Amino acid sequence: MIYVDTTSASSWRHSSGLARVSRRLLEELGESAKPAKWPSMATQPANGDWILSPELFSEQERPGFTDFLGHSPCRLAAVFHDAIPLKQPGITWPKSVERHPSYMKLLARFDRIWAVSSASRDELAGFWKWQGVRSAPQVDVLHLGSDWGGVARATGAPPAPAVPPRIVSIGILEPRKNQTLLLDAFEVLRGEGIEAELHLVGRVNPHFGSPIEKRMAQMAERWSGLHHHAEMGDKELESLVRSARATAFPSIAEGCGLPLLESLWMGVPCICSDIPPVLENAAGGGCHVVRGNGVAGWVDGLRRILSSDSYRHQLAAEAMGRSLPTWASAARVLRESLA
């Protein structure tokens, strides 16, 4: 039996990337898995079972957890997402910055690790080398699913975009997601007389999101096409994305970048930054990569996809024609490896 660690995810109401990974893997693992929470998961599994943790953790949050890792009655596996709190401490939740070094050290005590991208795998290996870890577990890459639960993949003709054209960007409002860059680019495009809508979907980061929220409010007074959706259900979000000319993903740090994959699943092109984890998913087609991730590049990319039907059609066709990972395939990898 695979016991999936849902200690934190079971209480989350928001649909963050971490929450989606935990919930979708548990769903697709089906009868071979059960949810488990700390501290009860210290006694539930038996010899021959596995605990799979897609969560972040620390001794401070889970008293006794470090000792448990050294005396676990079963084998231990984990999904590693990223090292962002170490790389971008100035724009990361303080709790995450405090927890992350010890979390990454504790991962070395597990039996198997899956990273959500090759870039994340290399970051974890580099951290362990820096820390002098001599006996590290095997780390493979787990390709996360691009499919939303119950959402059919787009096939045939590209979805018809709305008029006026709209760009949709999904992610918590914070400096890491880089929505300010989108606002800067649209200021330029509006000055050129290009009519379009920008929909930003995501809650506001309580530590770092206020300047972005203030900037949006100021722009909204002059531009009726700017929309912020702090909360949106999956069905409503699916409808919004399918109606978009493209999605936008200007992030400066990611572990994987699920919104890009989910956009391609629905046949909607994505304009994205060129950071390594995003490039891994953009390489198969359907994306316009902005090299350098600067304002000028975003203005050029947005202008092209907003004004050229043929270019948009080309990217949409690439999105619908390429191979994309699914949550079922991710669960199959785990099920077969943890047998």
Q: What is the DSSP string of 207-219?
A: TT-HHHHHHHHHH
Give the CA count within 13 Å in the CB-facing half-sphere of 84.
22
89 shares its domain with 182? no
92 shares its domain with 27? yes
Query: Could you list the residue range(s) of the whole structural domain that residue 170 is in?
Result: 166-321
273 shares its domain with 316? yes
76 shares its domain with 10? yes
Domain count for the chain: 2
Using DSSP's 3-state secondary structure scheme, residue 159 falls into: coil
pLDDT one-digit tens code per residue, 240-269: 999 999 999 999 999 999 999 999 999 999
Do the beta carbons of residue 289 and residue 260 sit within 8 Å? no
Strands (E), 143-234: 166-170, 197-201, 226-229
245 shares its domain with 222? yes
137 shares its domain with 170? no
Residue 155 lies in a domain: no
Using DSSP's 3-state secondary structure scheme, residue 147 falls into: coil
pTM recorded for the entire structure: 0.94
Residue 151 lies in a domain: no
Assess whether pLDDT exceeds 80 at residue 157. no
190 shares its domain with 71? no
What is the percentage of the chain residues whose pLDDT exceeds 90?
87
Residue 159 lies in a domain: no
The whole-number pLDDT of residue 155 equals: 85
| Mean pLDDT, rounded, of the chain | 94
Q: How confident is the model at residue 12 (pLDDT cuts 50, 70, 90)?
A: low
Distance CA 52, CA 4 (A): 5
Residue 150 lies in a domain: no
**Structure tokens, 215:** 């900037």
Residue 278 lies in a domain: yes
Q: How confident is the model at residue 15 (pLDDT cuts 50, 70, 90)?
A: low
Distance CA 81, CA 305 (A): 31
24 shares its domain with 68? yes
pLDDT one-digit tens code per residue, 99-133: 999 999 999 999 999 999 999 999 999 999 999 99
The residue-averaged pLDDT of 262-286 equals 97
The whole-number pLDDT of residue 14 equals: 62
35 shares its domain with 62? yes
Do the beta carbons of residue 250 and residue 170 sit within 8 Å? no
The whole-number pLDDT of residue 150 equals: 76
Q: What is the CA radius of gyration of the chain?
A: 21
59 shares its domain with 198? no
pLDDT one-digit tens code per residue, 48-95: 999 999 999 999 999 999 999 999 999 999 999 999 999 999 999 898
The residue-averaged pLDDT of 149-178 equals 89
CB contact set of 235 (below 8 Å; sequence gap of 6+): none
The residue-averaged pLDDT of 263-287 equals 97
Domain containing residue 84: CATH number: 3.40.50.2000
Task: Give me the amino acid identity at 142.
Answer: L
121 shares its domain with 172? no
The whole-number pLDDT of residue 19 equals: 83
The whole-number pLDDT of residue 17 equals: 77
Residue 303 lies in a domain: yes
204 shares its domain with 284? yes
